[in-house]
Structure 1
Amino acid sequence: MSAVPTLSDVAKRAGVSLATVDRVINKRPNVKPRTVERVRQAMADLNYRPDPMAAGLARRKRFRLLFLLPTGTNAFMVDLASQIEGMEAWLAASRASVETVHADVFDPGALAAAIDALDRSADGAAIVALDHPEVRAALDRLAGDGVPFVTLVSDAPASRRERFVGVDNAAAGRTAGALIGRFAAGRKGTAGLLVGSLSLRDHMDRCFGFSQVVMRDYPNLTILPIVETRDDRERAEAAVRDLCAAQPDLVTLYNAGAGNQGVARALAQAEACRPIFVGHELTESSREALREGTFDALLAQNPGHEVRSAARILLAKAMDTSIIAEQERIRIDIFIRENLPF
């Protein structure tokens, strides 16, 4: 017998043909229960573990995954799209392919329509979601049509998703609150708060965590009403200019969404307004703003890790195998100017 048990070893041990072993492993019909038991016992005796990837290759099964990302100027989403393209070779080795489609995630009707338009022959989908009844209904229709999906970056927890792929956003918001409170060092004044949309679950979870810490631990800071920017850099720039003009006591600014390129422009050009700033995601423009001192800290999630995690989870679902939960946990990274990676 070979060092690593093979299908032939199992067949010989069980006293059956290779074809019968294949039928048992792949749960195909027309095998007697006693024969199934003999094959399973032989597998246990030999410590044989089927290779689902090899089984998929043997059946020449091709897997097709879909990623639905937002339209717009969100630099992090551009990075996500680039990472999706970058894993095509890795997926090809598993006889899998990936397609990316885009939709306006800030418009529930448009996003729901885009989800309904997804090809139902796909083996799985990763979707940047909006936590809205219309979107949840579309997501559930997708699952009902036999397409498993994960939510990516922004969650819809009441939907029939397999898993959420992203950071703990409430914890990210609490971290932002703690950083801002400590950087403020007791200065009394107002705290500005930007989001892409009040309907994006990740942004609202961040706001909740941020407010929880600031209101509990930093009474010197008064949180201003939330300003929505639709993750657009021009809107974000205008919002920061308006805050600086209207709030002479603006001590801190937290952007729970995107549009940081616009925030950086507004802060760099403001003469009397220099709030402590904490935002999200390490992109080319936000890295430069942090290096120049316009930003004070950034909380980041690794886009490559996220898209590969989504793909692994969807492929595991398609192959009926398990995942390693710890491998799929997305970390919150904290960057200041002094620890910027090259």
Structure 2
Amino acid sequence: MKKLTLETLAKMAGVGIATVDRVLNERGGVSPETTRKVLKAAKEAGLNRTLPEERRSPWQIEVILSSNDTYFFKKLAVDFREVANALGYQRLTLHRTLISESQPEKLAQHIITSSHKRNGLIIFAQNHPAVYKALEHCKNKGLPVITLVTDLPESQRLCHVGINQLQAGRTAGLLMAKMLHQPGEVMMVSGRVDFSAHRQRIEGFKEVLQHRAPHIRLTEVLAGQDHPETLRRLLEQTLAQSKNIVGIYNTGDVNAEVSEALARHKLQGKCLYITHELYDLTRRLLEENILSFTLDQNARQHAQLGLSLLLQGLEEGLLPDTYSDGKVEFKIMTAENVD
């Protein structure tokens, strides 16, 4: 077998002989990417010596979340920090940014700015032309981006991490249909309807309920667009006009407003009430038999999958499946299985 020379390794790695010498003898001055190429070539060639450990700066990863005050996003921000800490500061540096859902242009500009400073992005964003243009800019730079919770299916993202929102809505519809046997009206409530996640939940809910419970009439979707007073007014109008509310499905984080409206109209515990996320308020409503079910989308698993898939892409070049690798399983919570 011919002796393995620095020249041979240099050709295999596509670098100069001096670069190979600096890497193998740990003299420094070589970029992390080039160091990986040289060490990979040495391993593939079967170099019979102890190779130096690969040294590189930690990956600079940014998570961009909604600045709204909902339980889910506050929990998500904490979970990303804790998961990143467990992975170690030598492996990644996590940057967390909160931007209002009502400012897509500001979000788009921030994405472009971050694309010049970060190795990868994990973002929560709404469907907006400026956001799509910013993600196209990231794609052209070779910067991997993962969408979170709400997908942007026509964007150039690495993959999506989140629950199947349509399936969650269909599950809520099935639960409602199986438990409602008398005729009546079901109210559909949403904080926002300009996000695909909420639209998909409503779509799935309506499809199943209309098919399985034709004796139930659905009201128009009451959407406060994150304005509590607007939602309270819509709830009051609907409850005052309807004489036979038998169910409520809430896709968003407006359970305080819904439960208060039910109390005013003496409907607490008298109609089937389904919502999303398990937190202090929904836990209490379950325990008091005001809330029937809540579908929890597991913030911790979002953080774990998002960081894991992004690191695999950065470190190993792995391309995840658009949906299956980042799919988060939601849980149906009742008064009997809350911790």
Same fold (TM over 0.5): yes
Gaps of 5+ in 2: 18-39
Q: Contact 2:309–2:320 at 8 Å: present in 1 too?
A: no
CA distance in 2, matches of 1:133, 1:324: 25
1:262 counterpart residue number: 257
Deviations, residues 34-64 of structure 1 (Å, cap 9, x unaligned): xx99964759xx9xxxxxxx99x72223101
Aligned to 1:310, the other structure's residue is in SS state helix
Deviation at 1:312, TM superposition (A): 1.0
**Count of aligned residue pairs for this structure pair:** 313
1:196 counterpart residue number: 191
Question: Is structure 2 residue 59 aligned with structure 1 residue 63?
Answer: yes
Aligned to 1:337, the other structure's residue is in SS state coil
Alignment of 1:244-323 (within 5 A): 244-272=239-267, 274-322=270-318
1:241 counterpart residue number: 236
Which one-letter code corresponds to 2:78 in the other structure? S
CA distance in 2, matches of 1:229, 1:102: 22
Q: Contact 1:191–1:221 at 8 Å: present in 2 too?
A: yes
Deviation at 1:23, TM superposition (A): 8.5
Segment drifting more, 220-229 vs 151-160: 220-229
Which one-letter code corresponds to 1:314 in the other structure? L
CA distance in 2, matches of 1:21, 1:293: 70
Aligned to 1:125, the other structure's residue is in SS state strand
2:175 counterpart residue number: 179
Gaps of 5+ in 1: 1-12, 47-53
Segment drifting more, 237-246 vs 251-260: 237-246
Q: Contact 1:254–1:278 at 8 Å: present in 2 too?
A: yes
Aligned to 1:106, the other structure's residue is in SS state coil
CA distance in 2, matches of 1:107, 1:276: 35
Match of 1:227 among 219, 222, 231: 222
2:336 counterpart residue number: 338
CA distance in 2, matches of 1:259, 1:272: 17
Q: Contact 2:160–2:326 at 8 Å: present in 1 too?
A: no
The alignment's TM-score, normalised by the length of structure 2, stands at 0.81
Aligned to 1:264, the other structure's residue is in SS state helix
CA distance in 2, matches of 1:160, 1:258: 29
2:98 counterpart residue number: 102
Q: 1:123 to 1:167 in 2, by over 3 A?
A: same
CA distance in 1, matches of 2:209, 2:76: 31
CA RMSD of aligned residues (A): 3.2
Aligned to 2:314, the other structure's residue is in SS state helix
Q: 1:38 to 1:132 in 2, by over 3 A?
A: closer
2:123 counterpart residue number: 127
Q: Contact 1:173–1:207 at 8 Å: present in 2 too?
A: yes
Question: Is structure 2 residue 158 aligned with structure 1 residue 162?
Answer: yes
CA distance in 1, matches of 2:103, 2:280: 27
1:51 counterpart residue number: none
2:15 counterpart residue number: 29
Question: Is structure 2 residue 4 aligned with structure 1 residue 16?
Answer: yes
CA distance in 1, matches of 2:64, 2:280: 23
Among the aligned pairs, what percent are the same residue? Answer: 24
Q: 1:21 to 1:197 in 2, by over 3 A?
A: farther
